[in-house]
Amino acid sequence: MISKKCEEILEYFNEILPNAKCELNYSKDYELVIAVMLSAQTTDKRVNEVDKELFSKYDSLEKLNSASEEDIEKIIRPVGLSKNKTRHVKGIVKSLIENFDSKVPEDKELLMSLPGVGNKTANVIRIELFKIPEIPVDTHIERISKRLGLALSTDSVLEVEKKLRKKFPESTYIKFHHQMIHFGRYKCKALHPECEGCKLIKYCKYYKKVS
């Protein structure tokens, strides 16, 4: 049974963010895997800029597999952590070719066997490519969950995910995930959130502190 509070959150998100969706650009399944991995500690906008160059220069798994680490690192440097991320790009491509017949697996454990793919990244891939209900918790979702009292300030990312799964119907997971990200990215920001006019301030711990 969904609580009144969670119902109000869903209603508000459906009102202000009815069409929220993934903002990473990709045209092939492996491109999404690489894009999500590259998005760690940077913005989707920056990843899209980098990926446009990377995937136009190397437009297949085979070409990426034969690309030099030096050239990949040069292209993806703007996203930060370029040495590690370059190794992950090469490792993902190699594993997909050698272990998965060049296709991105649907199974979560298999996804997490790919270099640089953790729980959150695997969940994003399962949502986006396979429409499997998941709630990947990024920094935006963690922040909003804690501000709205959906999780404790001391909860880990995995604990936040578990609590959201219990509080919201599975049928809402995918849309809710995108709405939470957009809400955190454009309205309930880490610094200077736009509280004016927000219908959720009665639940918001941040608002209570600053008001």
120 is catalytic: yes
Which stretches of 11-158 are assigned E, i.e. beta strand? none
Alpha carbons 86 and 69: distance in angstroms, whole number: 6
Catalytic residue among 44, 90, 138, 175: 138
CA distances (Å), 8 to each of 13, 15, 36, 180, in order? 9, 10, 30, 14
**Distant-in-sequence, close-in-space partners of 169: CB < 8 Å, separation ≥ 6:** 2
The terminus-to-terminus CA distance of the chain in angstroms comes to 32
Half-sphere exposure of 79 (CA within 13 A, CB side): 31
Q: Is 101 a catalytic residue?
A: no
Residue from 120, 187, 189, 208 carrying the catalytic annotation: 120
DSSP symbol at 80:
S
How far apart, in whole angstroms, are the C-alpha atoms of residue 28 and residue 102? Answer: 11
Separation CA 33–CA 129 (nearest Å): 10
CA distances to 1, 11, 163 from 6, in Å:
10, 9, 12
Count of Cβ atoms closer than 10 Å to residue 171 Cβ: 9
Active site residues: 120, 138
